[in-house]
């Protein structure tokens, strides 16, 4: 059984390499991190555990098919940390029906089924999260995905220390496409859109002034469209 916080969509992927692409989200419950600015605490904090539902692979796929009117699309496996859950069978069964699978994780837990994913987004957490990155564990995730899966790196940036961290991460993994986005300080109620826009501008200018030509700078599209609403 897989611990599910919510399944919703189709919506638009708001972040990273697949930004703008229609997708159904499968959000699993539980995370081995507790980032200071986490915007999905309902899938992290054990306070919400009673809302998480154990579901079989078959039932999850049925729900994806129902939401997408059985028209195959990209399924985003998210969390919490979805790498905690046994998702290999879901990916294989979904592939048989022409669905594609993207997974986003901080890179703390590697699974052999990463190699079956269509795209793996590794999102190491910068200093502002309150966590230290275990780069050995991160390395295991990159290796587990192997050459078949398209692997990218995404980092949220809140301040100078986070920016320096992202530069270090890019040096460690020069072959991974890198997506940077300004972090959302206000995850309860309405987001501070002016603040987000200012940080996006700051980030864009910083990257261009530094001649950092391999980084992609993106907004959080879903926050622009739907604010901090859950399940959209
Ligand atoms: S790793 Fe992601 S889901 Fe887990 S606490 Fe951090 S931001 Fe939240």
What does the pLDDT look like over 67-81, one tens digit per residue? 999 999 999 999 999
Does 111 fall in a domain?
yes
Asked if 179 contacts 154 with a C-beta cutoff of 8 angstroms, the reply is: yes
With cut-offs at 50, 70 and 90, classify the pLDDT of residue 224: confident
Cis bond leading into 124, ω under 30°? no
- Residue 115: count of CB within 10 angstroms of its CB: 16
Range of the domain at 20: 2-226
d(CA 21, CA 197): 22
In a domain, 122, yes or no: yes
- Return all residues near 201 (Cβ < 8 A) that are at least 6 apart: none
Overall number of domains in the chain: 1
pLDDT in tens, 180-205: 999 887 767 777 888 889 999 999 99
- pTM score above 0.75: yes
pLDDT in tens, 11-63: 999 999 999 999 999 999 999 999 999 989 999 998 999 999 999 999 999 99
Q: Whose CA is nearest to atom 5 of ligand 1?
A: 34
Read off the CATH number of the domain in which 28 is found: 3.20.20.70
How many angstroms separate the alpha carbon of residue 41 from the centre of ligand 1?
A: 8
Ligand 1, atom 3: nearest CA belongs to which residue? 80
Residues with CB under 6 A from ligand 1: 31, 33-35, 38, 40, 44, 79-81, 106, 125
Task: Compute the distance from residue 70 Cα to the ligand 1 centre, in Å.
Answer: 30
Q: Quote the pLDDT of residue 228.
A: 67
The full length of the chain comes to 232
> Given ligand 1 and candidates 45, 80, 124, 158, which is best to mutate, with the most ligand atoms within 8 Å of its CB?
80
Which residue's CA is the closest to the ligand 1 atom numbered 2?
Answer: 80
Q: Pocket of ligand 1, candidates 5, 27, 38, 223: which has the most ligand atoms within 8 Å of its Cβ, to mutate?
A: 38
Owner of token pair 């980092």: 155
Q: Is residue 231 part of a domain?
A: no
28 and 82 in contact (C-beta within 8 Å)? yes
């Amino acid at each position: 059984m897989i611990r599910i916080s919510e399944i919703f969509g189709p919506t638009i992927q708001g972040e990273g390499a697949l930004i703008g692409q229609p997708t159904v989200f499968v959000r699993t419950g539980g995370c081995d991190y507790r980032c200071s600015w986490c915007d999905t605490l309902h899938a992290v904090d054990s306070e919400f555990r009673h809302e998480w539902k154990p579901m079989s692979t078959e039932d999850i796929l049925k729900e994806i098919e129902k939401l997408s009117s059985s028209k195959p699309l990209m399924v985003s496996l998210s969390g919490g940390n979805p790498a905690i859950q046994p998702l290999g069978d879901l990916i294989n069964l979904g592939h048989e029906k022409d669905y594609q699978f993207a997974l986003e994780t901080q890179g703390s837990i590697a699974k052999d089924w990463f190699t079956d994913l269509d795209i793996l987004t590794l999102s190491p957490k910068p200093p502002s999260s309150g966590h230290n990155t275990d780069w050995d564990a991160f390395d295991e995730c990159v290796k587990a995905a192997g050459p078949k899966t398209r692997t990218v790196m995404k980092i949220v940036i809140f301040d100078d220390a986070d920016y320096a961290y992202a530069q270090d991460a890019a040096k460690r993994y020069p072959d991974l496409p890198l997506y940077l986005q300004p972090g959302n300080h206000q995850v309860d109620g309405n987001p501070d859109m002016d603040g987000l826009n200012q940080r996006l501008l700051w980030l864009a200018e910083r990257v261009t002034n530094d001649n950092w030509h391999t980084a992609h700078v993106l907004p959080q599209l879903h926050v622009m469209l739907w604010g901090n609403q859950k399940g959209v």
